[in-house]
Amino acid sequence: MRLLDSKDQSETDPIMKAKTIEDREIDLKQDILNGLKMRVLGLVLMPGEVGYEESRTVWNAMIDRKPALVVRCLGVADVIASVQFAREHNLLLCIKGGGHNIAGLATADGALMLDMSLMRGVWVDKKKRIAHAQAGCLLADVDRETQVDGLATVLGFVSQTGIAGLTLGGGFGYLTRRWGWTTDNVVGMDVVTADARIVHASNDENADLFWGLRGGGGNFGIVTGIDYKLYPVGPEVIGGIVAWPASEAPKVLELYRKLAKEAPPELTLVFFMRPAPPAPWLPKDMHGKPIVAMLACYSGDLVEGEKAVAPIKSFGKPIGDVLVRRPYTQLQLLLDGTQPKGRRYYWKSEYLSSIEQALGEKVIEHSAKIRSPHSAVILFQIEGALNELNEDHSPVGNRDARYVLNIGGSWDKADEDSEHIEWARGAWTDMRPFSTGGTYINFLTEDEGPERIEAALGNGLKQLAEVKAKWDPENVFRTNRNIKPV
């Protein structure tokens, strides 16, 4: 994509190059661009214009793509007008929610990008316990509004993540053990389809589309709003982290395995190993040194919660302990600083059905080989409600998953890419035999191919291809984990 010289241009002179959905390069002319500007209320941005860089960049600095145009949508009408425009000119479309997808699926060279980040409204129906959230919301937006009424839905661990990508791919977090995947808690979605219509998808309306959206990603349309079931949570929970020196890892891992096995659904436990970040609650002389830690959230009765986390707090000699009563909205922010936009990231991930002793030993072994101050190996506990639904309840499936292993490479400099990627791949190769065979679609990196999509969506793929054929037969929505229409 290239911006052409704007001197002495007539309305019909080409002003920029863009890509078609067949990956051909075409010229876009001033009169065409003016046509788009007349049709949308939100800003239309070209390379070089204020705001373009902010829109086109995503969380992972490994991704550096340049859409031809960005529309910062202000509402459903802008989304419809943009889809119509893209269809009329056969333009490649990409859709950016929170921009957190590690593979950079929100952006594409030469595409027309719909940036949803100005659509961040949340409406809570306290009586019905439903929140309607616009698709540009970040997790923090939804938690903040629902917590006004002491309610919450199942969202993820980092508040700056987009709700749309997370929900469309499955979603898990502090409340998954009680209520399942995020997508198990969606009761409806508003969607702009490939033929630029707005439709509602739920169990009662367009049920096939609703099924596909709950794990099949952005393959079927552009989601403009999501309705979530809400549950009483907080406003205070017991949440936070306890950390020890990495030399204690074998004992802490043993404790983790025991506590996780006995934990009630209200308690979610996460085990991780990494170099200590320069956090004020960790002693300065430990910063950069390897640590082992447990992150916990007890979202039920606070007195019971204090009892449940007591064995963690009293274990050995922690070097830091911020596992306390705190607002749920504050817990949601706790990890944000460790995952800033603009670093380089490469992850490898698998679902596990248990934490075997031998797997634990490998976690410790590969954590000791971390060479970046930001990388980590993490075990998320997710078992509970999600295991109780049938595999075909939604395409997110993986109802045998009880833990998520994430080998999270994270570093600053481009010339270190190969070193940290090699570390993550090496650890993954060694730990992969412990996998259920399934993996989380939202954690797949740019270099993971069709066999990994199959590992993530498994048996659902055939039905997803049928839903795709009905709702997007020309594969207009292809900048995603693409499912070809059958």
Ligand X SMILES: Cc1cc2nc3c(=O)[nH]c(=O)nc-3n(C[C@H](O)[C@H](O)[C@H](O)COP(=O)(O)OP(=O)(O)OC[C@H]3O[C@@H](n4cnc5c(N)ncnc54)[C@H](O)[C@@H]3O)c2cc1C
Closest distance to ligand X from the beta carbon of 147 (Å):
18
Q: How many CA atoms lie within 13 A of 165 on its CB side?
A: 31
C-alpha torsion sign, points 276, 280, 282, 285: positive
Q: Is 173 exposed, middle or buried (0-12, 13-18, 19+ CB in 10 A)?
A: buried
Closest distance to ligand X from the beta carbon of 422 (Å):
21
Closest distance to ligand X from the beta carbon of 155 (Å):
8
Closest distance to ligand X from the beta carbon of 138 (Å):
8
460 phi/psi in degrees, rounded to 5 = -75, -15
Query: Which residues in 255-402 belong to E strands, given as ranges?
Result: 267-275, 290-298, 320-321, 324-327, 344-352, 376-381
Q: Is the Cβ of residue 15 or residue 378 nearer to ligand X in the bound state?
A: 378
Say whether 63 sits in a helix, a strand or coil. Answer: coil
Q: Could you give the CA distance from residue 108 to residue 65 in angstroms, rounded to a whole number?
A: 6
Specify the DSSP class assigned to residue 5: P
284 phi/psi in degrees, rounded to 5 = -55, -40
Q: How many CB atoms lie within 10 A of CB 353?
A: 16
Interface contacts to ligand X, rule CB under 6 A: 58-59, 94-102, 105-106, 116, 135, 156-158, 161-162, 164-166, 168-173, 217-218, 222-223, 339, 442, 479-480
Nearest to 320 by CA among 380, 242, 407: 242
Closest distance to ligand X from the beta carbon of 172 (Å):
5
Structure tokens at 28: 């876009």
Closest distance to ligand X from the beta carbon of 441 (Å):
9
Q: Is the Cβ of residue 164 or residue 291 nearer to ligand X in the bound state?
A: 164
Q: Is the Cβ of residue 193 or residue 286 nearer to ligand X in the bound state?
A: 193
Closest distance to ligand X from the beta carbon of 95 (Å):
4
Q: Is the Cβ of residue 231 or residue 315 nearer to ligand X in the bound state?
A: 231
> What is the torsion angle, in degrees rounded to the nearest 10, for the CA atoms of residue 147, residue 149, residue 152 and residue 156?
-10
Q: Is the Cβ of residue 19 or residue 29 nearer to ligand X in the bound state?
A: 19
Closest distance to ligand X from the beta carbon of 481 (Å):
7
CA distances to 168, 173, 268 from 176, in Å? 15, 5, 8
The residue assigned the tokens 């498994």 is 458
Closest distance to ligand X from the beta carbon of 235 (Å):
21
Quick one: which H or E segment has residue 38? helix 30-39
Q: Is the Cβ of residue 173 or residue 215 nearer to ligand X in the bound state?
A: 173
Q: Is the Cβ of residue 165 or residue 395 nearer to ligand X in the bound state?
A: 165
Closest distance to ligand X from the beta carbon of 76 (Å):
11
User: Can you spell out the DSSP letters for 461-485?
Assistant: HHHHHHHHHHH-TT----SSS----
Nearest to 225 by CA among 110, 75, 354: 75
Residues 453 and 441: beta-carbon distance below 8 Å:
yes
Closest distance to ligand X from the beta carbon of 12 (Å):
32
Structure tokens at 305: 């919660």
Q: Is the Cβ of residue 1 or residue 213 nearer to ligand X in the bound state?
A: 213
Say whether 9 sits in a helix, a strand or coil. Answer: coil
Q: Could you give the CA distance from residue 82 to residue 377 in angstroms, rounded to a whole number?
A: 41
Nearest to 158 by CA among 410, 368, 397, 387: 410
Q: Is the Cβ of residue 156 or residue 318 nearer to ligand X in the bound state?
A: 156
Q: Is the Cβ of residue 1 or residue 76 nearer to ligand X in the bound state?
A: 76
Q: Is the Cβ of residue 244 or residue 403 nearer to ligand X in the bound state?
A: 403
461: left (phi over 0), alpha (psi -120 to 50) or beta: alpha
Closest distance to ligand X from the beta carbon of 409 (Å):
13
Q: Is the Cβ of residue 313 or residue 452 nearer to ligand X in the bound state?
A: 452
Structure tokens at 474: 């020309």
Side by side, which strands form the sheet with 198-201? 122-125, 130-134, 222-229, 186-192, 198-201
Q: Could you give the CA distance from residue 249 to residue 273 in angstroms, rounded to a whole number?
A: 8
